[in-house]
Structure 1
């Protein structure tokens, strides 16, 4: 969990103090003073560091591909949380959900049963959470499809996982370097080299 830096007591900012027994997922909407995109994992708060261009560009590329190629009954969501249980409310970088899951305009989170696909782009400060902790929790909550994206020489590498019902854990079904091409949860075809060519998100899904 993030902790106050030395000297913060002189800034006038008051760090939120958890109640007896710790925070719950429902508290995340009402804790005052939290920065945008705060996640809750095991009842602890995690703050998002400034994002890199790579992170932003990969999200744009994949979001464009998913929006262009997802069946019409699905929407692509970013910057929202999924409430896995009473003490876990992470924020995947991208989620695919059915339009039937969209409730009120002030909705701030989704149930894991509504998530068709969760995507995490690994950041330097969250490697452990993105590679191990969050996927394990997504699998336990029953999210069937998960993608983890990492950087290799300026190009995204997409690790594709599907939930194994026999073990309740994710099984890797593919590692995609230059081109992401999958058939589930629906057909997606995206040229991952567009970042290297300086055209992230431009025509994702078309042959180079």
Structure 2
């Protein structure tokens, strides 16, 4: 974990306005846009009050998964006692729910690479909020080869995640949708 994080920390200040993480052995810098931040904020605001005092939401902190992958999820639900340590990196085994917000540059990572890595670590729920397509993808039932359950739900109704922490709801009707990336009729 120390070697990976040492690599990543060299890049954190070099790319202002970008989030950096290590995916499949490569340092990846993703530009942050208003719809991305708005989606993260809305999901955090929805999830926080539903968690008991023993759980907390963290954002953009490192979770080294293996020698080639150190992910910085948009949101992760971990034990509050760990979040209170205010660390820059945490073991991925602490995560109960991961939320990623898809962007033009993160499609392959969010939809193909990360689900397998998160599932292999036993993370119970993985959620992708996608402002480009106006939908959410929820994955559950992790196994060594990926998640065995997957649903795609258009934005509009509240999204319910049946997690080990209980049923968590995220309103999707007001989530941002990128008008340039989503075809309009």
Q: In the TM superposition, what whole-angstrom CA distance separates every residue of 1:180-206 from its partner, at most 9, and x where no partner exists?
A: 12332322223211236xxxxxxxxxx
Residue matched to 1:94: 75
Cα gap change, 1:45/1:99 in structure 2, threshold over 3 Å: closer, same or farther? same
Cα gap change, 1:30/1:91 in structure 2, threshold over 3 Å: closer, same or farther? closer
2:159 counterpart of 1:180 = yes
Q: Point out where structure 1 has 5 or more consecutive residues left out of the alignment.
A: 1-22, 197-208
Q: In the TM superposition, what whole-angstrom CA distance separates every residue of 1:66-93 from its partner, at most 9, and x where no partner exists?
A: 1011122100011211110123101111
Cα gap change, 1:195/1:113 in structure 2, threshold over 3 Å: closer, same or farther? closer
How many residue pairs get aligned? The number is 170
In terms of Rg, which structure is larger? 1
Residue matched to 2:120: 140
Residue matched to 1:195: 175
Structure number with the higher strand fraction is 2
TM-score (norm: length of structure 1): 0.72
Residue matched to 1:159: 137
Residue matched to 2:94: 114
Q: Distance in 1 between matches of 2:62 and 2:15?
A: 14
Checking the alignment, whether the CA contact within 8 Å between 2:130 and 2:136 is kept in structure 1 is yes
Q: In the TM superposition, what whole-angstrom CA distance separates every residue of 1:83-109 from its partner, at most 9, and x where no partner exists?
A: 10123101111100011323643x111
Cα gap change, 1:127/1:152 in structure 2, threshold over 3 Å: closer, same or farther? closer
3-state SS, counterpart of residue 65 of structure 1:
helix
Checking the alignment, whether the CA contact within 8 Å between 1:95 and 1:115 is kept in structure 2 is yes
Checking the alignment, whether the CA contact within 8 Å between 2:162 and 2:168 is kept in structure 1 is yes
3-state SS, counterpart of residue 61 of structure 1:
helix
Cα gap change, 1:126/1:182 in structure 2, threshold over 3 Å: closer, same or farther? closer
3-state SS, counterpart of residue 30 of structure 2:
coil
Checking the alignment, whether the CA contact within 8 Å between 2:124 and 2:163 is kept in structure 1 is no
Q: 1:39 is matched with which residue: 2, 21, 25?
A: 21
Residue matched to 1:127: 107
TM-score (norm: length of structure 2): 0.80
RMSD (Å), alpha carbons: 2.5
Deviation at 1:29, TM superposition (A): 5.4
